[in-house]
């Protein structure tokens, strides 16, 4: 019988009491043990291993001292190391709990985040934990071969050609611990040929297609329709081919991948049971397997809901480990097969928490309707103006007891107004009066929200109606592409002033020239839902005002796109030294010159063009090539000069030194 898990106890640093924070953005659900709100009302980051802690605002100020303006990507390598420790600890607990007679191997798929700071964090910790690395392409394989030690398990997945297979076999012959995982039948033919040519047997695995599949955004990446893996008949044919070529002893691993970000633990259980049945069947047929690689799928609870919504998960890390260990052992015991070594390929769960995108708010596009000087007088006896009469009466009758009724009456009246205007029976002036009255009704209803416990569902759309658009100095397509592509939810909140109540609601627009460049879906204040705006503070007297997007460490950097030639942001790695935060690595963001060069424009030709076309301004224009591709916060906070266009006023004119393309180590 399966015994239930004990939760892992993780210490946390000092944080503010709930009574001190009027609104916490659910940070205790999705942020622990790394992020919290400190007693000063700022978001803090904590190293759970040492309990060292500081505010994110403080780190932003440290970066500014090094001429690194936001947008800024903050990376915390200690979070990567801690996540690996937690995954290992969860499986070690399960192995002891269920008396599992074999071991566990954690493997990180490089595709989740290929940046050197991540791989270095893993390789550094690998000296003690022996974390494996998984490659899904030729470039990733070469990267891993160059960084790995003989103790580093290397798994080569994905589509392969002869060149990449030869690369893997030669690395194995050099003493590295390489496993080539067959994804297609044709790959097996090439592997046999290369091994014969080099007179060396590389360790082999085979990926299978399961009938079971995952759930959530990537449900269709698993199952029988998956583009990777062998069907069972192909699997058995591959076994026969290896026998015929005296290479069956090289086949030691069976691999499957149920999907990514699996939000329902039941899907994981079903996949593990099916795959273990196949594993045991192969053992019974004499295949010398030793390892079962259960792939990825371990989810991240971006919303903190603990539900089966696509951006959440209904299980804990410990339950995940318990179920994998328990069900593999149970099936093996039933079939009298020795349980295998267990491998997981957790990418998202290892790196998602370690990156935070800090976005400076440049301004707001919202304008109070009362700022428009309109004459609200009209002939109330005119029957064609009855919708206006009803709107005026509704405004005067609003109380805390009739909010929903008044809102419905106002909606009906404004609908009638628009119909009369469309049919030519209402003037433009009277339409403008009706719209202003409608907004005044909505605002008065909204003023009652702060006195209500829960806002009625019927009135929830008022938050969207009155939501401001805060313009953030970032590109959604470069930094948060999954939000644009699949509506992935990420936690978004201010990093400062959290001891003050955020009474406004806003959506977050980026600076791209694209209407899709906005975040308009946020974690809900209620469970199992989402909302169209996030709580923010007024920008009055707030300079600068920062919003941060959390849990961005998986895939977002890898799949970013240079929409409008907005490239990578500045990024820094932070470690604690003697209890204080230190920037250990700086990676400068894309310059204007780099953005042009990366899109095929020859810098020599570009410079020559500038010299011939604008000889009188060449010095200024050439200096712009070394500018950050995002807006200058100093410039955008200044009033618009009426003598120049708005776009000219927003241009960068601060001249920074050319930025190196490679990471800069900071002593």
In this predicted structure, the answer to whether residue 647 has a pLDDT above a threshold of 60 is no
In this predicted structure, the answer to whether residue 365 has a pLDDT above a threshold of 80 is no
pLDDT tens for residues 73-82?
A: 999 999 999 9
pLDDT tens for residues 482-513?
A: 988 888 999 999 999 999 999 888 999 999 99
Q: What pTM value is reported for the model?
A: 0.86
In this predicted structure, the answer to whether residue 217 has a pLDDT above a threshold of 60 is no
Q: What is the pLDDT of residue 639?
A: 36
Is the torsion defined by CA of 237, 240, 244, 248 positive or negative? positive
Q: DSSP letter at 403?
A: H
Strand ranges of the sheet holding 35-37, from the earlier edge strand across to the other edge: 35-37, 43-46, 53-55
The whole-number average pLDDT for the span 236-262 is 95
Mapped onto helix, strand or coil, the DSSP state of residue 144 is helix
The whole-number average pLDDT for the span 191-217 is 88
Identify which of 580, 589, 573 has the alpha carbon closest to the alpha carbon of residue 666.
Answer: 573
How many Å apart are CA 399 and CA 445, to the nearest integer? Answer: 8
Identify which of 271, 298, 261, 134 has the alpha carbon closest to the alpha carbon of residue 205.
Answer: 134
Least confident of 7-21, 48-62, 489-503, 515-529: 7-21
Higher pLDDT, 647 or 345: 345
Q: DSSP letter at 250?
A: G
In this predicted structure, the answer to whether residue 372 has a pLDDT above a threshold of 70 is no
How many Å apart are CA 139 and CA 12, to the nearest integer? Answer: 39
Tell how many helices (H) and how many strands (E) occur in the chain.
22, 24
pLDDT tens for residues 100-110?
A: 999 999 999 99
Q: What is the pLDDT of residue 330?
A: 98
Mean of per-residue pLDDT scores for the chain: 86
Distance, CA of 41 to chain centre: 25
Identify which of 408, 473, 417 has the alpha carbon closest to the alpha carbon of residue 441.
Answer: 408
Question: Is residue 417 packed enough to be buried (19+ CB in 10 Å), middle (13-18) or exposed (0-12)?
Answer: buried
Q: What is the pLDDT of residue 8?
A: 55
pLDDT tens for residues 508-529?
A: 999 999 888 999 889 987 665 6
Higher pLDDT, 395 or 646: 395
Q: What is the pLDDT of residue 76?
A: 97
In this predicted structure, the answer to whether residue 260 has a pLDDT above a threshold of 70 is yes
The whole-number average pLDDT for the span 178-195 is 96
How many Å apart are CA 273 and CA 334, to the nearest integer? Answer: 12
pLDDT tens for residues 288-303?
A: 999 999 999 999 999 9
Q: 648: which 2 tokens?
A: 């000219």
Q: What is the pLDDT of residue 28?
A: 93
How many Å apart are CA 218 and CA 254, to the nearest integer? Answer: 22
Contact 504, 536 (CB under 8 A): yes
Name the band, by pLDDT with cuts 50, 70 and 90, for residue 446. confident
Higher pLDDT, 43 or 452: 43
How many Å apart are CA 350 and CA 109, to the nearest integer? Answer: 10
Q: How many CB atoms lie within 10 A of CB 223?
A: 17
3-state secondary structure 328-360: HHHHHHHHCCCCCEEEEECCHHHHHHHEEEEEE
How many Å apart are CA 63 and CA 159, to the nearest integer? Answer: 41
pLDDT tens for residues 608-635?
A: 677 676 677 777 877 888 899 999 876 5
Higher pLDDT, 516 or 447: 516
The whole-number average pLDDT for the span 153-182 is 96
Distance, CA of 420 to chain centre: 47
How many Å apart are CA 625 and CA 609, to the nearest integer? Answer: 13
Work out the end-to-end distance of the chain between its first and last CA atoms, rounded to an integer number of angstroms. 55
pLDDT tens for residues 546-585?
A: 999 999 999 998 888 888 999 999 999 999 999 999 999 9
Name the band, by pLDDT with cuts 50, 70 and 90, for residue 643. very low
Name the band, by pLDDT with cuts 50, 70 and 90, for residue 648. very low
Q: Provide DSSP, 232-247.
A: HHHHHHHHHHHHHTT-
């Amino acid at each position: 019988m399966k015994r239930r898990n004990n939760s892992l106890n993780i210490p946390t640093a000092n944080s503010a009491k709930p009574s001190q924070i009027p609104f916490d953005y659910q940070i205790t659900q999705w942020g622990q043990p790394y992020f919290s709100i400190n007693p000063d009302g700022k978001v803090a980051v904590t190293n759970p291993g040492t309990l060292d802690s500081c505010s994110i605002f403080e780190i932003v100020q440290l970066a500014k001292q090094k001429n690194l303006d936001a947008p800024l990507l903050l990376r915390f390598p200690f979070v990567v190391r801690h996540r690996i420790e937690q995954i290992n600890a969860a499986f070690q607990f399960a192995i002891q709990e269920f008396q599992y007679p074999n071991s566990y191997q954690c493997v990180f798929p490089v595709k989740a985040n290929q940046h050197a700071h991540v791989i270095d964090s893993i390789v550094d910790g690998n000296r003690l934990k022996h974390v494996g690395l998984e490659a899904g392409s030729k470039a990733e394989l070469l990267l891993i071969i160059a960084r790995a030690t003989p103790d580093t398990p290397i798994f080569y997945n994905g589509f392969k050609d002869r060149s990449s297979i030869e690369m893997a076999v030669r690395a194995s012959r050099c003493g590295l611990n390489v496993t080539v995982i067959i994804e297609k039948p044709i790959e097996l033919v090439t592997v046999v040929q290369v091994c014969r040519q080099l007179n060396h047997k590389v360790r082999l695995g085979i990926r299978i297609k399961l009938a079971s599949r995952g759930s959530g955004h990537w449900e269709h990446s698993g199952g029988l329709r998956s583009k990777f893996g062998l069907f069972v008949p192909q699997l058995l044919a591959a076994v026969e081919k290896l026998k015929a070529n005296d290479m069956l002893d090289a086949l030691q691993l069976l691999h499957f991948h149920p999907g990514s970000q699996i939000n329902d633990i039941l899907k994981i259980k079903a996949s593990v049971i099916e795959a273990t049945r196949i594993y045991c069947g192969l053992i019974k047929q004499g295949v010398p397997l030793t390892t079962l690689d259960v792939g990825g799928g371990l989810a991240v609870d971006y919303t903190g809901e603990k539900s089966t919504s696509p951006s959440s998960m209904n299980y804990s890390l410990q339950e995940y480990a318990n179920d994998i260990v328990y069900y593999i052992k149970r099936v093996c015991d039933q079939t009298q097969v020795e349980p295998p070594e267990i491998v997981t390929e957790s990418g998202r769960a290892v790196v998602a928490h370690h990156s935070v995108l800090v976005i400076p708010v440049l301004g707001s596009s919202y304008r109070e309707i009362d700022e428009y000087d309109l004459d609200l007088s009209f002939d109330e006896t005119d029957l064609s103006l009855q919708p206006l009469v009803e709107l005026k009466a509704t405004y005067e009758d609003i109380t805390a007891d009739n909010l929903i009724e008044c809102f419905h009456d106002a909606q009906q009246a404004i609908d009638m107004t628009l119909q009369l205007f469309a049919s030519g029976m209402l003037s433009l002036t009277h339409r403008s009066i009706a719209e202003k009255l409608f907004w005044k009704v909505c605002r008065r209803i909204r003023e009652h929200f702060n006195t209500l416990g829960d806002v009625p569902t019927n009135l929830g759309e008022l938050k969207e109606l009155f939501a401001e658009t805060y313009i953030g100095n970032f590109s959604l397509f470069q930094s948060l592409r999954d939000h644009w592509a699949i509506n992935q939810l990420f936690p978004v909140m201010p990093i400062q002033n959290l001891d003050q109540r955020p009474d406004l609601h806003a959506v977050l627009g980026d600076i791209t020239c694209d209407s899709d460049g906005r975040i308009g879906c946020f974690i809900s204040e209620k469970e199992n839902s989402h909302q169209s705006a996030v709580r923010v503070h007024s920008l009055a007297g707030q300079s600068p005002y920062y919003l941060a997007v959390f849990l961005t460490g998986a895939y977002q950097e890898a799949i970013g796109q240079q929409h409008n030639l907005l490239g990578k942001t500045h990024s820094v790695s932070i470690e604690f030294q003697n209890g204080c935060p230190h920037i250990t690595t700086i990676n400068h963001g894309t310059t204007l010159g780099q953005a042009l060069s990366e899109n095929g424009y020859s810098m020599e030709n570009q410079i020559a063009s500038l010299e011939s076309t604008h000889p009188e301004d060449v010095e200024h224009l050439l200096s712009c090539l070394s500018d950050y591709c995002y807006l200058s916060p100093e410039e955008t906070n200044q009033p618009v000069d009426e003598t120049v266009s708005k776009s000219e006023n927003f241009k960068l004119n601060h001249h920074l030194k050319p930025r190196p393309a490679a990471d800069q180590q900071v002593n």
